[in-house]
Amino acid sequence: MQTRSEQNQQLIKCCNQSLIEWQRADLPVRCPTPDMEIWAGHPRVYLELDDNDQARCPYCGTRFKVVD
């Protein structure tokens, strides 16, 4: 049986990627993404892009960059 801490670590790893390139056609940017292994690793959040078309998930730290 896993402890709560171990379960939380497993969920967070589902979206532990350093950078995801996001297509402009697929906006809005959201995390976790539907194609992540365990997509329910944390609550879904829609991310606001900065002036450089980038965003960071406040839960897991995954960075997103919008590309054309």
Beta carbons of 59 and 11 less than 8 angstroms apart: no
Neighbours of 64 (CB within 10 A): 20
Left, alpha or beta for 53 (phi > 0: left; psi -120 to 50: alpha)?
left
Higher pLDDT, 50 or 8: 50
Residue 53 confidence (pLDDT): 96
Per-domain boundaries in the chain:
4-67
Beta carbons of 23 and 65 less than 8 angstroms apart: no
Residues 6 or more apart whose Cβ sits within 8 Å of residue 49: 29, 55, 66
For 52-68, what is the mean pLDDT? 93
pLDDT digits (tens, 9 = 90+) for 15-48: 566 899 999 999 999 998 877 766 557 888 999 9
